[in-house]
Amino acid sequence: MSVSLTSVNVFAAEAAAPAASAQAGTSEIIAHIEKALVEVSKSDFSAAQIHLKAARNASEAISGSSDAAKKAHASLMQGQIASKSGNVSKATEELNKTISLYKAL
């Protein structure tokens, strides 16, 4: 009987690990996007691109997990494109939308 209880506890811990990992990844993504927003507001697009690239790399790890995560990743890419083109208002709008999407995950 103790073997079956141990198995249940191990399974529960393993099930919680991906959720905790996704939550940590989401926090990292949001932090990078917020830093990128600061740089975009200063029109420092090269610094913003560094943060957006880091956010995209972190996002790719969780983007396949749900439709909401895919939508957030797509929004992040649109914000990065707008930032690359120097469009401050569009980049700001898209990145704020992206933050909202990631916070909803």
First to last CA, the chain: 37
Distances in Å between the Cα of 43 and the Cα atoms of 49, 87, 89 are: 11, 9, 11
pLDDT digits (tens, 9 = 90+) for 31-88: 999 999 999 999 999 999 999 999 999 988 776 668 888 899 999 999 999 999 999 9
Closest CA to 35 of 58, 23, 52: 52
* CATH number of the structural domain 2-104: 1.20.120.660
C-alpha 54/C-alpha 80 separation (Å) is 11
C-alpha 104/C-alpha 86 separation (Å) is 28
Does pTM top 0.95 for this prediction?
A: no
